[in-house]
Amino acid sequence: MARAATTSDSFNAVAEPRRRDILSFLMAQERPVGEIVDGLGLPQPSVSKHLRVLLEVGLVNVRRDGRHMLYRTNADAIRPLHEWTATFERHWRNQLTRIKERAESMELASRRDQTKKRRNEDDGNSGGN
């Protein structure tokens, strides 16, 4: 099956790590392209390309301020991504809780076995004297 274009939807757009970096960088405040380039250490043409994709899928908004184009995240468009990933977060939190509980019960059982073994050894040593 052919892969969907990165501009087809938000999920495909954020599959690119540099786009996620740009979104994270814009989270705090709106910024011009030059600030994104400097802050992330990416080439300007690359940043512009990624911003265009993010803009096309609606994850960022842009406004003109004089000669500058200022980009900011679009929280309403990011919400569906957050809600979808939250289901996995809950799943993994539950899985990790189960793993922790199992490890703790195994540790407790091991301690009981060690205590029992020591008692048996102590009983064997005291009976021969």
- To 10 degrees, the CA torsion angle through 111, 116, 118, 122? 160
Collect all residues with Cβ–Cβ distance below 8 Å to 79 and sequence separation of at least 6: none
**pLDDT category of residue 118 using cuts at 50, 70 and 90:** confident
Is the CB of residue 29 less than 8 Å from the CB of residue 79? no
Give per-residue pLDDT as tens, 9-20: 888 999 999 999
pTM for the whole structure:
0.65
Mean pLDDT of the chain: 87
Provide the CATH topology of domain 10-73. Answer: Arc Repressor Mutant, subunit A (1.10.10)
